[in-house]
Amino acid sequence: MKTIGFIKPHDKHNEAKYLSEYLEDGYENNDKEAILNYLNKGVLCIDWMEWLFEDESDDAVSIGPNTCNTDGIWIWPNYLEYYLNKYPNFKLDQEFIDYVNENQDKSVDVSNEENIKIQEAYQRLTNSKTDKGTSLIDEDEN
């Protein structure tokens, strides 16, 4: 499992970066549309049942549910699309951009078994806990 687009303070694990680490002066994301289209193909794998806001101020912008999607290789937060749209200089790792460009015409199909393995890997990464043997998604969803 490879991670992409996790931002502190929304996520506190070691793979998350501060927003400023994603923003690069003078960078223009020429692959934005391909990336957004690819992200929308992802399969739900983590659903924390909470709503996220851009910050903790009283007038904070709603950015969507706290969920993660996957293609079986990569995992990304639902809010990544919001930040890609908001910041034209939001720069993702070149490895992911190359992967998207190579796979953008392929469909995404993640089996329930693969999804559970990704959830378990994410749980280890984030030290998130569920009851032993409990999946973070309903097994009937896939």
Query: Nearest Cα to 77, choosing from 142, 138, 17, 141?
Result: 17
Range of the domain at 46: 2-141
| Number of domains composing the chain | 1
pLDDT of residue 132: 40
pLDDT (tens digit per residue) in 72-125: 999 999 999 999 999 999 999 999 999 999 999 999 999 999 999 999 998 888
pLDDT of residue 141: 42
Average pLDDT of the segment spanning 1-28: 92
Average pLDDT of the segment spanning 11-16: 89
Side-chain half-sphere CA neighbours of 8 within 13 A: 10
- Which residue is listed with tokens 């020429």? 30
**Would you call 94 helix, strand, or coil by DSSP?**
helix
Q: Which two tokens stand for residue 52?
A: 């996220």
Paired with 46 in beta bridges are 68
pLDDT (tens digit per residue) in 18-36: 999 999 999 988 999 999 9
Average pLDDT of the segment spanning 55-72: 88
pLDDT of residue 128: 59
Average pLDDT of the segment spanning 129-135: 41
